[in-house]
Structure 1
C-alpha cells in the first residue's frame, strides 16, 4: 500500500509546481521529511513501484524548482539523490520523462563550472544516439562545441532555442563568463571602446544592463564622445639587469677556475 503521507504531499506538490506557486518551497521541505520517514529519500532494498514513483517525482520537482529559484547547490543535491532511482531501480520503474531534461541541465551546470572533463565523463555514460537525437542532451553538446570554437554568438542565440525554460538560467550564467572574457580582451587590446561596439560585443540588449556591467569593471563612460575608457594600468617597470655585477661575478668565477686548473 502506498504511504498515505507521501501520496498526499505528492498531489499538493504537483499542483503547486504546475502553477509555479511559492508554496512549492515549503511543500518540498515537508515532502522530504515524509520521504525520510518512509525510507524513500535514499531507498535501499525492495520497495513498491508506486512508492518509488512518487519519491522520484518529488525529487524531480525539487530539482526543477531549485533552478527556478536559482539554488544550484540544491539542484546538485536533488540530482545526486535521483541517481539511485535512475540506476538502481531502472528495472523496477518505467522511464521518467523528466530524466533527460534533468541530465541536460546537469551537463550545462558542468559547463558553467568549467568542469569539462566531468562533462565528457557524463556524456560517455549516456546512450550514443541521445547526443544527436535527444534535444535535451543535444543542446548542451552544442553549447560545449560552440564554446570551444569561440562561437559566442551561437551560445547567445541558444538561449532562445533552449528545450526547457530552466535551461536559460545556466545559459545566462555562461554568458556572464563569456562577457567577462571578452571585456578582459578589450581592456588588454585598447584604451577605449565606443559604447555601441561594447553593447554589440558583450551581447547586451539594452544600455542599462551594459552600464551596470561596465560600472562593475570600472569602465569610465564619456557620454559626449559615447565611448568607454578603460581603467589606467600602472606600467610595469622594466626589470633592470645588473650587467656590471654579473660581469664581475663571471670574471671572478673564471679566475677561480684558472687557479683550480
Structure 2
C-alpha cells in the first residue's frame, strides 16, 4: 500500500520531468499512470482538515493539473476532459480547505475553450456561471473564451481567426485550432448555399486559408467541384432539377417578389 511519502516522491519525479525542455511526454504519461493508481490508496478527502490531510489534497490537485496539461500536449481530448472533471471538485468543493492554485483559472479558461470548440454551448454557459464575477471581468484566461463566444454569436468569424495569434497560453492552441476548424466548416456550408460558383482565391480569403494548395486540399475534403475556370461550382444539379420540375430559379423568384412589392405599394 502506497503512503503519502511514496506518492510525493512520484510527484516530484513527475514535476521534474514536466519542467524539462523539451519534455519527454511518454515518461510523464508513465509517471501519471503510476501516481493515479497510488492516489486511490490515499484518503484525499477533507475529513479532518489536518496538515497531512491538506497535503494529500494539494498533492492530488497538483498531479491532476499536470495531467490536464499533459493531455493537451499529447492531444488526448478525452483524457483532458477526465482530468478536468476530477479537478473541478478541488477547485469548487474543496476550495475552503486549500490554498489557491496558480493554474486554476488558466485550466478553467482552457476548459471553457474546449467546450466552445466542441460546440457544447449550454455546458459552456453552465461552467461560466460557476465563476466569480470579478474573474469573468478581468482574468485573461477566462476572458479569451468569453470573447470568442461573443464573436461566434455576432458572426464575426474574422475576429476568431485573428484571435489565434493572441492566445493567453500555449496550451490553448489545440482547442483554438479545433474551434477554427469548426468555424471554417460553418463558413464553407454558407458558401455552398449562397454561391453558384466562387473563385479559389475568394474562397481561400473567406476561409482564411493562406495558400492555393490549402484551398485545393480543403475543397477536396468537402468534395467541391473545381471547374477549368479555377472556380468552385455549387448547386448546378439542384438548379437543373428545379427547372425540370417547374420550380422558379432564384433570380426569377426575386424579380416576381419585387414586382409584387411594387404593386402592393401602388395599392397602399
**Structure 1 and Structure 2 fold alike (TM over 0.5):** yes
**Correspondence for 2:83:** 78
For the aligned residue pairs, the C-alpha RMSD in angstroms reads 2.1
Correspondence list, 1:181-220, <5 A? 181-220=186-225
Cα deviation 1:86-117 (Å, max 9, x = unaligned): 12321221100111011101111221222222
Specify which structure has the higher proportion of helix.
2
Q: Structure 1 length as normaliser, TM-score?
A: 0.83
Q: Number of paired residues?
A: 236
The 1:184/1:93 distance shift into structure 2, 3 A limit, reads: same
CA–CA distance in structure 2, aligned partners of residues 238 and 190 of structure 1 = 21
Cα deviation 1:54-105 (Å, max 9, x = unaligned): 1111100111111121211111111111122112321221100111011101
Find 1:65's aligned residue among 66, 70, 95: 70
**Correspondence for 2:112:** 107
Q: Is the 8 A contact 2:43 2:56 kept in 1?
A: no
**Correspondence for 1:45:** 47
**Correspondence for 1:127:** 132
Residue 183 of structure 1 deviates from its aligned partner by 1.0
**Correspondence for 1:171:** 176
Segments ≥4 residues shifted beyond 6 Å: none
CA–CA distance in structure 1, aligned partners of residues 89 and 128 of structure 2 = 18
Matched, 1:33 2:8: no
Residue 192 of structure 1 deviates from its aligned partner by 2.1
Q: Structure 2 length as normaliser, TM-score?
A: 0.81
Matched, 1:221 2:226: yes
Correspondence list, 1:1-12, <5 A? 3-12=4-13
**Correspondence for 2:146:** 141
Residue 231 of structure 1 deviates from its aligned partner by 6.7
CA–CA distance in structure 2, aligned partners of residues 132 and 88 of structure 1 = 23
Find 1:21's aligned residue among 16, 20, 24: 24
Residue 38 of structure 1 deviates from its aligned partner by 2.1
Q: Is the 8 A contact 1:218 1:231 kept in 2?
A: no
Q: Please, which runs of 5 or more residues in structure 2 have no aligned partner?
A: 248-268
Q: Is the 8 A contact 2:201 2:212 kept in 1?
A: no
Q: Please, which runs of 5 or more residues in structure 1 have no aligned partner?
A: 241-261
CA–CA distance in structure 2, aligned partners of residues 230 and 12 of structure 1 = 57
